[in-house]
Amino acid sequence: DRRSIAKMVTTRRQSMGMAKTTRKSSRARSPSPQPKRTPRKTPAKRKTTASKGSVSWSDSAGTGVQDGGFLRSLGALLLLVTTPPFTMALWSIFVQHKGSVTSFGLQVADSSNWPAFSASLPTVSWEATSYIAAFGAFQAFLQLAVPGKEFIGPVSPKGNRPVYKANGVECFFLTLIAFFLGWRYEVFSPARVYDQFGEILNALNIFALVLCLFLTVKGCNFPSSTDSGTTGSFLFDYFWGTELYPRIGKSFDIKQWTNCRMGLMGWSILPLCFMAKQMENVGYASNSMLICVVLTNIYVFKFFLWETGYFCTMDIAHDRAGFYICWGCLVWVPSVYTSPALHLVQHPTNLSTPVAAAIAGLGVLMIYINWAADEQRKIFRATKGKSKVWGKAPKFIKAKYETGDGKTKESLLLISGWWGIARHFHYVPEILGSFFWTVPALFDHAMPYFYVIFLTILLFDRAYRDDARCAAKYGKYWDAYKKHVPYKFIPYIL
C-alpha cells in the first residue's frame, strides 16, 4: 500500500546519506596525495637544414663530413693520382708545345715518341731546389720577423680563436724589393726561373706531398688545437687534412705560410720571372705581358691588403690542412694560376693602345669591386654592424650557433650593400678579373683559359659548400637570410 512504499523510499534515502557521510569522512582521514614530480626536460637540439649524411658544424670541426666514405675516398684518390702529373703536362703544353694541346696530344699518342718525350721531361735539379728553399725560408722569416698588428680569427667549430700577425702588405713589398734588387745586382737571374720551371714544379710536388704526410700524422698525434681528428679513412685524411690550424710552436702558422706566403707571394713573383724571360728572348716586354703581370700583382696586393679577411674564409677557417689546400697552394697555384703569363713568354703580342687600355681598365675595375665587397664585409664584422654600408645603416640578421664546447655564439649576417645583391656576388668580379689578365693571350690557343675555367668551377663549388656549411651552422637563421638574399651569384639569374 501507499504507506509501505513511502517507508521504503525513506529508508533508502537514509542509507544513501549514510554512505555519502562515510565517503566524506574517509576522504578526510586519508593522507593527501603527494604531487607528482615532473621530469626536467632536456633542451631540444637546434634543428638545421644540413643535408642528409652530414653532421653538425661543430661536430665536423668545419669539414661537413662524417667520415671519409667510399665515394669521397675514391674522389680523393682520383685527384691525388691525376693532379700532380697534370701540372707537369701543363708545363709541357706551354713550354715545349707553345700552348698547343693538339701538338702535345699527338706526341703522347704516338708510342714511337715516348722515349724522346720521357727524356725531355724535367727531373729535380739542385738549382730548382735552391730556388724553392731560398724563397720558402725568406717567406718564413718575413712571416715571423716583420712586425704586424695582432688579429684574432673567428671562433672555430670547437670554440678556439687562432691569433695571427697581420703583416702581409709589408711582406709583399719587401718581397718585391728583394726581387728587383736581386735582379738589378745579378744575385740571381729571373729568366733562369723560367728555364728551371719544370724542375721547380717537380721539386714542389715532392716537397708538398711529404708535407701533407707530415700534417696528416701531426693532426692525429700532436695537434695544435682541438679542431683536429680523423675521418676514419687515412686516404681521405691525407687528402682533406686532420687539423684546422696546424702550427709549429705557438707563432708559425703552417697554412698562412703555404697559402699566403708561398702560394700568393709566388703568384706575384713568377709572372715577373716569365716577363724577364720574354725580355731576354725578344729584347722587350710586350704590352700583353705587361697587362697580365700588372693586373696579377694588383690582385695579389689587394689580397694582402685584405689578408685578415682571408683568415675568416673557408680556406683558413673551415678547410683543413691537407692535400686539397696545402698541395694546392704549393703546386697548383704556381702551375695553373701563372699559366697565362707562362704562355705569353713565347707569344709576345702587342695589342693596340685602345684595346690594351680597355682590358687594363676593366681588369682594375673588377679587382676593385672584388676588394670593395670583401672590405665592406670585413669592416662590418670588425665594427659589429655599427659601420655604414653605402652611406646607410646596414641591415643584418643576428644568427646564433653552438660551438663544440657547448657555448652559444652570435654572428651578424649582412644583407646590405654588395652582400644584398647575391650571397656570393663577389666571385663574379673575381672571375671576370681573371679573364681580363688572361685575354691578352688572345684566342689562338684555348689552354691559357684553363685557369679561368678552373677558377669558375672552384668558386661555384666553394659557394655551394659555403651554403651547406652555413646551413649546418646557423640553421633557421640561414633560412631567414636566404629569404632576404635568394640568389647565389647574379640576381634573377643564378
Question: Counting every residue, how long is the chain?
Answer: 494
Place of cell 669521397: 72
Q: What confidence category does residue 42 fall into, taking pLDDT thresholds of 50, 70 and 90?
A: very low
For CA atoms 335, 340, 104, 280, give the dihedral sign.
Answer: negative
**Quick one: the chain helix, strand, coil %, rounded to 5?**
65, 5, 30
The mean pLDDT value for 8-27 works out to: 45
Grid cell for residue 389: 654600408
pTM equals: 0.86
Count CB atoms within 10 A of the CB of residue 282.
13
Least confident of 54-63, 162-171, 231-240: 54-63
End-to-end Cα distance, the chain: 99
pLDDT digits (tens, 9 = 90+) for 318-360: 999 999 999 999 999 999 999 999 999 999 999 999 999 999 9
Backbone angles phi, psi at 403, to 5 degrees: -95, 175
- Distance CA(58)–CA(72), nearest Å, equals 20
Least confident of 138-147, 224-233, 390-399: 224-233
pLDDT digits (tens, 9 = 90+) for 400-414: 999 888 889 999 999
DSSP assigned state of 488: S
Q: What confidence category does residue 68 fall into, taking pLDDT thresholds of 50, 70 and 90?
A: low
Q: What confidence category does residue 56 fall into, taking pLDDT thresholds of 50, 70 and 90?
A: low
Q: At what angle do helices 353-382 and 427-436 cross, to 10 degrees?
A: 150
Grid cell for residue 203: 721539386
Going by C-alpha positions, the residue among 185, 353, 334 that lies closest to residue 274 is: 334
User: Mean pLDDT of all residues in the chain?
Assistant: 89
Q: What confidence category does residue 48 fall into, taking pLDDT thresholds of 50, 70 and 90?
A: very low
Which whole-number Å values give the CA distances from 189 to 91, 97, 195, 438, in the listed order?
A: 20, 24, 10, 25
The mean pLDDT value for 195-213 works out to: 98
- Distance CA(212)–CA(242), nearest Å, equals 10
Q: Which amino acid is at 287?
A: N
Asked whether residue 47 carries a pLDDT value surpassing 80, the answer given is no
Backbone angles phi, psi at 151, to 5 degrees: -125, 130
The pLDDT assigned to 406 comes to 85
Grid cell for residue 410: 652570435
DSSP assigned state of 154: P
Burial of 300 (0-12, 13-18, 19+ CB in 10 A): buried
Least confident of 63-67, 85-89, 297-301: 63-67
Place of cell 678556439: 160
DSSP conformation letters of 53-67: T---TTTTTT---SS
- Distance CA(179)–CA(173), nearest Å, equals 10
pLDDT digits (tens, 9 = 90+) for 217-270: 999 999 999 999 998 889 999 999 999 999 999 999 999 999 999 999 999 999
DSSP conformation letters of 325-340: IIIIIIIIIIIIITHH
Strand partners, 401: 409
Under a CB-based contact definition with an 8 Å cutoff, are residues 464 and 423 in contact?
A: no
Tell me the Cα Rg of the chain: 33
Going by C-alpha positions, the residue among 267, 417, 253 that lies closest to residue 336 is: 267
The pLDDT assigned to 20 comes to 44
Please give the distance of CA 422 from its chain centroid, rounded to a whole number: 19
